Structure formats: C-alpha cells, structure tokens
Structure 1
C-alpha cells in the first residue's frame, strides 16, 4: 500500500474528539514505573565501600528515571538518594570492561545529567563530568568493532553510540573516529522500510535501535551519517504507524515481546516524528503521530495501574519471571518503561492538534519486508497480525493476533506460542507451537499445522479488497516441509463484523482440513469461561466475549498451553473436506451468546 497517500486521505470527522492526554501522561507513567520499587529496594542496590553495582544497566536506568521525575517536580523525597546513585554511576563506567550492560548505562546517565544535573551543586556536577571524561569507548564498551565484519555490531552498539554523542555534547569526547568505524556498518542493517535488522529481526529491537538514533539527532548530531540515519527514521516512523494494533499496542514478533516498555518506545518514536512534521508545516501528519503516541502510552494503563505495577502484559507476580527472557527481569524492565516514557515526554509537543491515526481508522492491508515477515490488516475496528515466517524460538507461523479497541488484548490472541524455551514459563505449563493455524492430513494420518513449520516458509500476499469498511486478502504458503499437499491458502475478510477466514489445500493427498484455536483460560488473575458446541465456542472474560464459529466440527482439548500472556486451552476444528471456514468476533458487552447454537 502507499502509506503517504493513505495518510493524506485521513479526514477529521465532525465526531472526532482529542484523547485529552497532555504530555504529563508520560510523567504519570514514569512515576508508576518507579512505584514498582520501594525506597528500601533502591537503597539496597547502592553498593557499599566503593564497589560496583550488581547490574550497572539496571542501576543506571533507575538513577535516570528518578532524575527525570525530580527534574519535573516529582518525588522530591528521593533527591538525596538520587545524588548518591549518580555518584555511584559516574565512578563506575570507566572501571568496567567486557560487560555489555555498560554500553546501555552511559546513555542513561547522560540523559539524567541533562535533565536534572542542575539539582546538584557545581562541585558535584564537575566531579561527575570528570569521571565521564575518562570513559574510553574502545575499552569500556563491549559491543564495538573488533574485526571488520563483526556481527556483534547489533543494537547494543547503537546504544553506546548514543551515549558517546551525549558525552560529546558536554565536551567530554570527540566521536568522529568511533562513529567513522561503526556507523557505516550499522546503517547497512536498515531494510528498505527504515527498519533495523537486529539478529533474528525482533520487532522490538528495530524500534529500540531507531529510538537511540533519534536521541542522537534530537541532541544535534549532524555528522556525515546524519542524513541517511534520519531518512531511515522517517521511513521507519511511517511504517510503525501502520503496525500499531487496533488496541494501540506495539506489534509482537521475536524477543522482548509483550513488555510494556514497547508502547513507551512507540510513543517516543511517534512524538519524535510529530515534531518532525510540525517543523515542516505538515500539521496533519504531525497530529496523526501525536495521537498515535498518546494512544500507545494509554494502552499500557491497565497494567501500570495494577498493584504492583506490571512490566509485561500478564497478571502473574511480576518477579515470578512468567513470560520473560532471562535478561528481562522486573528490576530492569520496570524502569525501562519509565526511561522510555521520558523520551516520549522529551520529544512531545502539546501544541500539536491531534488527528485520527491509522490504528483507529483502519481500511488497510500492509506487510513488512521479508526480513520481518509480518502481515498486518486493520479494518472495522479490528486488526490482525500474521507472522508468515516465524522465528520458532519465540513465535509460531499463522494468525498470532486479533485485537479490537476496548477489549482485553489477550482475550482472542495477542501473541503466538512456541515449544522452544525462548522465554520462561513454569515447569508445569506445557509449551507448544500454536497460533490460529490451519492444519491438514499429512498423508499418513497425522495432522500437520502451519504453526509447526520452521523457517524458511514461503508466502505470497494478494490484496483483493481494501476499503474503510472491508479488507479482503489471500495468503498462499509453500514450504519443502509441507506433507500431504503442495500449498495452503487462507483468505481473510476483516470488517466491523469480525474476522472471517476460509482456508483450502492445494493439491492435497487426503481431503481433510483442520484449524488450531487457542482459547483464553487464565492470565494470572482473570479467568476465561469457555463454553463450546460442535459448531463453535465462546470465551467470556468478565463482560467481554470472544466468539468462534466454524464450518467444521469443533472439539476443545483438555490440555492447556502457555504463552507470554497466560494459559490457553487448545481447540481443534475438523473438516472432512479440503477446505474449512472460521468466523472470529470480539463481542460488545450485552450482545448475546454463542451465535452458532
């Protein structure tokens, strides 16, 4: 699709209402983020007798978050503790070798210094700067050039370059040689849409890496690579608008998925782009980005306002690690939400008037480059996200997300499942490759599912209809792994009436089709009440209802599987034909029960 033409066509209807969120919403999110820690916990993280923090990355983020709030009139009771934390940070960086956490940490300190350094006395500020002057990027960072084609130059190297540029703005270093060695290689990792290709191409580290580049440009980087870097940010900002779900959440895909900081990162990128377009005089596009930013941050409120606040989208005890990678523990990633919300605050311009954004207006089908292999369609208040060639360490191929504005996003599905151990689940929770996935008789009586296929999977998207009322598209999957057929086709129709899917086999050896359907059961606190008949099922989560209808015969299995959001029961729809249909709806409260009965 032509993104620019779509944005230029967006009108502001008479019924349009602004979100009502000012940039203070980011400070509120930051304060809720800090509330994830008691003062005693923060004090306990301060090493005694001149030692180094256990985790310099997490400690620096906590110091930065506290400083950002202090600079804006919040948490005044933390000032002395913050000063002590900054003392510890400033004296640590030059002492650390071969520890990638240091690569993240310097940037956090420098941002905190710029925001709140004026709260310290001059002698203390000078001492901090003298310590930071002693940082040597070739010694104190881990992710730096060691050989001419070192693959270690992934997102972490861009973090440390952001820190280096911030040091240069304070007269502490000259980045010319370091940037000359590293930035050309980093620029080679952007795809044609301006998305950053970190190893495995996780969508979160596309956005996070672009945000580090935005920090550099915001603080005046205008060196020989600035123009290309900025062009990638502009392209990446546009495609990110269209990846935001109908519930205003960041897309799933790969590692660090379903963490709340993702929405703060998207908000920051959108605020950055809003300011870009305002400077150009394009107030419509500026307003589109501003509204998308505020809605992104608002999508996290449900989890931030929990007690204690959550750092990811489930209600399990936050320090249980449910659904998280080993590096993504609460003490680090709760603060990560806050520090990224600060960047949204830093870039935000409340004078921009909001304009409707793509996530709420819909009427489009889009796909990323093949490197990210995502198909995202939004229409009629629904959005679907399909991973056509999933990284099975974290995800499964097939329909991995159905969102509708105003509904709990885990109710239908927000992210797929994996049988691999890419993230933590309790020992008693079963793992499985699963999505809303077609299956077929493999020719030997067993059922093969699209969700079970590993990379590479071939796929082709054909858009058949694309309007504000209805989006229709067809995907054909091919793979040498297919058994029992030559290809599998799915045709989707997305509208205000829900998501209809018709699947068929191409050249099957046995004319049998199936659908794998995860049904929400538990998110750590809230239960899904599942009722089923042969023609379909519904899941009630309080007043919200998810309904499934099928042209086949449905059976809900007894086993429960887990993903990052919680537990789901697997259902199987079966057809004795080489085709099968589904109708999936998120139903308004009070709209009635199971339609297929």
Structure 2
C-alpha cells in the first residue's frame, strides 16, 4: 500500500509539471494561469466591461493615493492572534478544538486551526514548539475524523481543503512515516459517503459541494483520489449557478451575497491549482467577471456587501481576500500593473476590515458588533466563536498562499468610485460610489435578513457601522424556519395613508423574485414594476433613481433618487398617491454591544458619534423640519437601533447623510 501510494503521489506531481501552465509569481504555492489575454469583459457583460474600462482610465488620473501600508505579514499577524487565543481550547486528549461557548467541537474548527499553525510554522513567522505540536495534534485529529466519517456536525466538505493544504505545510515538521499514514487515510476517503452534498443524495448541491471540490482537486493532484468522477460530475453541475456577473447563486430566490464570494474563491483556487479540463473555459470567464464585480461591490472600508444569511461575519472579508490575491497575482504575471495593484489594494482593504474586529484575547468578534461572545448577538443558528474565527484564519491562509508580496497597491474602485453598478437579476442590488462615499441599495429585500431600499451607507473618514451598515429585518428563527415578525427599516420613506395607516418602502420585500414563504407588505394582484435609472457616473459624482410602480397602500409610485459626491449622500423621495404625511426614516445605531452612540439633535439634523467616526442625518426639504426619534431599541446585526425621522405634508421629501464635518 505504501509503495503504491508513493507512486501515485510522484505520478501526480509529474503530471502537474508537464501539463500545467505556471504563473511566475512570488506566492508560496505554484499558481497556474487562469487569465487569457483575449477575454473581452465588455463582450461577456457590457455593463461590467464599461465600468472596468472607465475605472482603469480614472485610476491613471489619481495623484494623491495613499497605500494601506499593509503587506503579507498582516495575514500572519492576524492568524497568530487567533490561534494563540484558541490554543487553550484544544482537547488535550483528542486534539480537537472545543468551542468556548458551546463546549463541544463545532464543525470544522480543528482542521482550520491545524492549517493556521502549519502556515505560521512553515513561513518561520512562528517559533513556538509547543504550538507546532498542538497543530500536529489537531491535524492528526482532523485526518482521523475524516477517515472514520465522524467530522463534527457532518461537515466533511469543510475538512478536505484545509487538511490537504496543511499536509503540504507540515512537511519537515513531522516524520515521513507520519506523513504516509495521513496520506493513506486521505486516500481511502469515499466522497459519496463522507459528503452530504452530492448528486447521489440530492438534485441540487450548493456551496458545500464546491468547498469539497476544492479539496478533492488537491487529492487528484496528489494522486490519492480514486473517485475522479465525483470531481468532474459536480464541477459540471455547478455551472448552472453562475450569474451573468460571474457571481455564485446559492439559492433560487434571494441568494445570500457572502455565499457568492465564499463559493467563488474555492472555484478560483481549483483553477489556480492547475485544473484545465473540459470546463476550464467556462469557469475562467465567469470567475474573471465575478472578480471584477466583487471589486465594484466592495465598500471603501473593505467590507463585502451585506445581504442574506451569514452577512457581516468576520470571515466574509477573508473569503474576498482570496479572490483578490489570486487575481492580483494573475494580472501581475501578465504585466498588468494597474489591475494587479487594484486587486492587491482590495485584499488589503479586506484585511484592514478584519483587523477592526479583533478582541483583547486575540480572537475576533465573529459578527460586526461588540457584544460578549456568550450573547451571540446577530449570530446565525450555526455561527460559533471557534468555527467562524478559524474559518477566517483558513481563508487568510489560502489568501497568503496565493499572494505575491511584491505587488504594489494601486487605487481600487472602492477608493475612486465614479460608478453605479445595477444588478436587477436574482441578486437585485445597486452599488454606487463616488470618491469613497458608497451605498448599497436592496431592490427587493428578503425580510428574514434585509429590508427593501437603501440599506448601507459607508462614508469615508467615518465609522462604517454608523452608516447605517445594514437595514433592519424581521426577527427570524432559522432553526424553526419561522418569521417572528418585527419592523422593517431602511433609509427611506414612510407614509400615512388616507385611513391613518402607516407604511414604509422597507416593508415591501420579496417582490422581484418572490418566495411565497417570505413576508411582504405588498398586496397588489400583480407584481410591481421596478425601474433603475442611471443618471450620472463620473469621478465628481454619481446619481441613480429607483422607481417602484404598483399598489403600495395608497401610493401608486415610489421614487428614490440618490446623489453621491465628495460631501456625502443626498436622497430625494417622491410619492404619488393619496397620502396625509410623508416621513424620511433613518436607522441609527445606538449601541454596538460595548458602547452607546453619542446622539446630538440640532436644528434640522442629528449627529451620531461612535468610536472613530461620526455621521450626520440632515433634513433638506422641508427646510424647517425637526428631526425626531421613535424611542425604539430594535435588535439587528450591528447592535441596537432607533429611528430618526422628520415629516412633510407634501409628497416630496429630501435629506442628506454626511460625516458632519
């Protein structure tokens, strides 16, 4: 068995040397060429192609760009903080990582921990024999759990890639005999038995299956995978879930934004590792589109879009960093410094975002708030302190492995802006940015996670969570799959109809790609029309208008026109219909779990201050409006919110959001 296994490993390595087209990059792993010079993005997606071309022209005109000052060592620093925090959580007998809150091994924490220590040791960043031994014990535990089909919470799909990468990193740290034992065990895995997400069990396989494919390809490379059909059958299956923007569609309706980025980086890693088979042409084109789309969706604070389940978790930005590093290295290898620098900048913005959420013990707040970890505020039913912090470490390890530290940052779309990205597809979003002032607009919210309307505002030189950084959704019991009701809010209009009833645009969720199990206040016999008009796109400012036409409880048309420039965001709401009053509502973060927001009401405006920034919500029309608050304390991802508002007896209302300076 041992001789046969060694022959397989050697033959797999030779095949890679013969057939793979290598990128000459400064990354720790060999990266294969996944960009073809002849791809024309405009032909594959005209809107995106135009945005890319305009961005590259604008990028050349930037004269005062300041680098983040980060390099690849920031990955290692953040990873070391985390593993030192979780070292004390290791079971001394089994080697498993025990979650500090749930007090059990939670999903895939253990292999992520092992991979993280392997990278730190192999790079020479970590010189701690006790911690290295801890990593070896965790890897041995993880391999045995896979081999014996007893992965925690049946998450074997999430074990395979970190284990395969870790085994490469532990070469020289363990004996050859130990390495052979691990390879033998990994060679005996049957993916159809170990992984729940496969086509023998299901008709539809989403992100879990792609996670497995990334690891299964590494087994193919090693020559220790006798189930080659599993990889090829499922890679073919996954093609149907790629959108016209190159994003991964993780659900038929209301797909979560973060499971696009998460899944897509695994696909990119498969190509980067050397896959050049039947489906290469499809994936290289789609993934390149997705990589560029993700640049235009990134906020100036490095955050990936909010929207859907698992949003605003610390690992979201780590997943994005993998994509950014892969494409930075790819463009650098082609001699395209502009593109490479933009992707490197995006990776460092993502890293900086992660760094904002490190706790005193070195672990992270896994959701973007600062509540004690035992409170689990804003968590999903499957979120845990160990697994999601160590997932961030896993992804940062992968980003580091593909990163070329010689690439210099250049301005990214998040820095420059000058664009409006409209996606009226199943993701139903609009992203717009002018000079680092940024918005995300939800055209048709999923009430379990997001309201409809203007849900995110990130202004430069502020605190992004004050923005607001998300709207306010319904309360949702994910275990029981039950909508518990509540109030839906975004930045936008509220009105009183002729009978005195109160309604908000935010409540008309689930209207573009309806899911009958989800709430919507809309009662029209046919779905409303949603029109997005791109008014202006330039470095000096951008503007777009969203128009809803239908039956909205006394209103037949709702228009929100959004202007963005260097001063901030100006919004004009126009309602057509029989209404008594119109209000402009603004969700205010009043407590982030650790600190109360300072709130100062002045003439016609309210100023919020928290940590390193402030935001001002100001009434423009009517001129003499008084800003009030609803005296609420509504729970949402970032903490607790109250609602600031002002009124008008006309059907037009205008307001501005700035940093207040």
Question: Under a length normalisation based on structure 2, what TM-score does the superposition of the two structures give?
Answer: 0.83
Residues 349, 502 of structure 1: alpha-carbon distance in 2 compared, 3 angstrom cutoff: same
**Structure-2 separation of matches of 1:272 and 1:323:** 31
Residues 183, 543 of structure 1: alpha-carbon distance in 2 compared, 3 angstrom cutoff: closer
**Structure-2 separation of matches of 1:28 and 1:415:** 29
Partner of 1:165: 217
Residues 517, 163 of structure 1: alpha-carbon distance in 2 compared, 3 angstrom cutoff: same
Residues 45, 411 of structure 1: alpha-carbon distance in 2 compared, 3 angstrom cutoff: farther
Partner of 2:525: none
Partner of 2:632: 559
Partner of 1:8: 56
Matched, 1:70 2:140: no
Q: Is the 8 A contact 1:311 1:337 kept in 2?
A: no
Deviation of the 1:174 alpha carbon = 4.4
Alignment counterpart, residue 193 of structure 1, candidates 225, 229, 245: 245
Deviation of the 1:96 alpha carbon = 1.8
Alignment counterpart, residue 32 of structure 1, candidates 36, 60, 81: 81
- Which runs of no fewer than 5 residues in structure 1 stay unpaired? 592-597
Q: Is the 8 A contact 1:394 1:423 kept in 2?
A: no
Partner of 2:42: none
Alignment counterpart, residue 82 of structure 1, candidates 96, 119, 135: 135
Deviation of the 1:132 alpha carbon = 0.5
Deviation of the 1:533 alpha carbon = 4.7
Partner of 1:155: 207
Alignment counterpart, residue 467 of structure 1, candidates 538, 563, 571: 538
**Structure-2 separation of matches of 1:209 and 1:411:** 29
**Structure-2 separation of matches of 1:54 and 1:30:** 20
CA offsets 1:74-114 (integer angstroms, 9 cap, x no match): 15231222222222211221322796411111111111112
Partner of 2:229: 177
CA offsets 1:236-268 (integer angstroms, 9 cap, x no match): 000100001122211111111111211111111
Residues 28, 166 of structure 1: alpha-carbon distance in 2 compared, 3 angstrom cutoff: same
1:30-429 → structure 2 map (5 Å cutoff): 30-41=79-90, 43=92, 46=95, 54-73=105-124, 74=126, 76=128, 77-96=130-149, 100-146=154-200, 150-151=203-204, 153-174=205-226, 176-199=228-251, 200-304=254-358, 306-308=360-362, 309-421=364-476
Q: Is the 8 A contact 1:554 1:571 kept in 2?
A: yes
539-548 or 329-338, larger mean C-alpha shift: 539-548
1:437-448 → structure 2 map (5 Å cutoff): 437-448=492-503
Alignment counterpart, residue 485 of structure 1, candidates 528, 550, 555: 555
CA offsets 1:141-173 (integer angstroms, 9 cap, x no match): 1000036x712x000001111111111111111
Deviation of the 1:47 alpha carbon = 5.9
Residues 543, 285 of structure 1: alpha-carbon distance in 2 compared, 3 angstrom cutoff: closer
**Structure-1 separation of matches of 2:227 and 2:264:** 19
- Which runs of no fewer than 5 residues in structure 2 stay unpaired? 1-46, 98-103, 513-528
Q: Is the 8 A contact 1:106 1:160 kept in 2?
A: yes
53-62 or 285-294, larger mean C-alpha shift: 53-62
**Structure-1 separation of matches of 2:627 and 2:227:** 62
Q: Is the 8 A contact 1:162 1:213 kept in 2?
A: yes
**Structure-2 separation of matches of 1:102 and 1:341:** 20
Partner of 2:15: none
Matched, 1:503 2:573: yes
Q: Is the 8 A contact 2:186 2:224 kept in 1?
A: yes
Q: SS of the residue aligned with 2:85?
A: coil
Q: SS of the residue aligned with 1:257?
A: coil
Q: SS of the residue aligned with 1:119?
A: coil
Q: Is the 8 A contact 1:396 1:416 kept in 2?
A: yes
**Structure-2 separation of matches of 1:430 and 1:180:** 43
CA offsets 1:466-519 (integer angstroms, 9 cap, x no match): 111111111102355x1111120011111111111110112x022531122111
Partner of 1:594: none
**Structure-1 separation of matches of 2:348 and 2:441:** 25
CA offsets 1:25-73 (integer angstroms, 9 cap, x no match): 111121122243242545476369xxxx844522222222222222222
**Structure-1 separation of matches of 2:378 and 2:502:** 28
Residues 301, 56 of structure 1: alpha-carbon distance in 2 compared, 3 angstrom cutoff: closer
Q: Is the 8 A contact 2:476 2:485 kept in 1?
A: no
Partner of 1:19: 68
**Structure-1 separation of matches of 2:419 and 2:173:** 49
CA offsets 1:521-540 (integer angstroms, 9 cap, x no match): 11011221112256221212
Matched, 1:572 2:636: no
Q: Is the 8 A contact 2:475 2:485 kept in 1?
A: no
Residues 68, 558 of structure 1: alpha-carbon distance in 2 compared, 3 angstrom cutoff: same
Q: SS of the residue aligned with 1:87?
A: helix
**Structure-2 separation of matches of 1:559 and 1:45:** 48
CA offsets 1:525-561 (integer angstroms, 9 cap, x no match): 1221112256221212256321111234432111111
Deviation of the 1:584 alpha carbon = 0.9
Residues 570, 423 of structure 1: alpha-carbon distance in 2 compared, 3 angstrom cutoff: farther
Residues 489, 61 of structure 1: alpha-carbon distance in 2 compared, 3 angstrom cutoff: same
**Structure-1 separation of matches of 2:150 and 2:353:** 39
Q: SS of the residue aligned with 1:486?
A: strand
